[in-house]
Structure 1
Amino acid sequence: MQTDALTAFVIEKLEDMKGRDIVSLNITDKASFADYMIICSGNSNRHVKSIAQSVATECRAAGSEPRGMEGNDVGEWALVDLGDIIVHIMTDEQRDKYNLEQLWAESE
């Protein structure tokens, strides 16, 4: 699946799982490890874990095997590595603490 199509697919799956405040950042010119970073919030640790697992499962079913997953054991911040796309699912507390949107905006 092409990167833009996969990005749209992931956002759709995040919405299906009731992920909140979804943001997609084009980081092509800022990082060599990915083209896009998608960030969303979950309501609880359980919700964060559930969203991350669902995204990985749906991408796998669509033919885009995740390269890895991190943080799904605790559930405060889960990461799904889809190669050109990195998906961060966080509780509100973690999202406020690390403020990735601001961090990546400041790197311009």
Structure 2
Amino acid sequence: MTTDERIENIVKILDEKKAEEIEVFNLEDADYIANYVVIANSLNPKHTVALYEHLKKDLKPLGETFLATDISDEWVVADLGDILIHIMIPEYRQRYSLETFLSELVENQKKKEA
């Protein structure tokens, strides 16, 4: 399965289970610990954990390996090796602003290449 197909599966599962504001960051050319990062909002703390459980249940049969996971009601991080998945309540997403950090990584890499 290609990385694009894997990302597509992750986004599809999150979308079907009512995650909001799903974003995918391609960091293949950036100096970062993963090639891709998926960020999604949950509706509430219970939904955060439920989304992770759905991902795990649906992705493992497809051959995905969850190398490490950090779980709290407000924020789940799942490490698939080359893909990191962040599921969090909107308040945490706003507070920690991962999009800004990841976007800056991508922009900095583009500047280096230019």
Regarding TM over 0.5, the answer is yes
1:17: how far off? 0.9
1:33: how far off? 2.3
1:27-106 aligned within 5 A: 27-71=27-71, 74-106=72-104
1:6-45 aligned within 5 A: 6-45=6-45
Identical residues among aligned pairs (%)? 27
1:32: how far off? 4.3
Q: Secondary structure at the match of 1:43?
A: coil
Question: Normalized against structure 1, the TM-score is what?
Answer: 0.92
CA distance in 2, matches of 1:63, 1:27: 22
1:21: how far off? 0.2
Q: Structure 1 stretches (4+) deviating beyond 2 angstroms?
A: none
For structure 2, the residue ranges without an aligned partner over 5 or more in a row are 109-114
Q: Secondary structure at the match of 1:40?
A: strand
Over the residues paired in the alignment, what is the CA RMSD in angstroms?
A: 1.1
CA distance in 2, matches of 1:34, 1:56: 19
For structure 1, the residue ranges without an aligned partner over 5 or more in a row are none
Question: Normalized against structure 2, the TM-score is what?
Answer: 0.87
Report the residue type matching 1:45 in the other structure: P
**Higher Rg of the two aligned structures:** 2
Q: Is the deviation greater in 26-35 or in 92-101?
A: 26-35
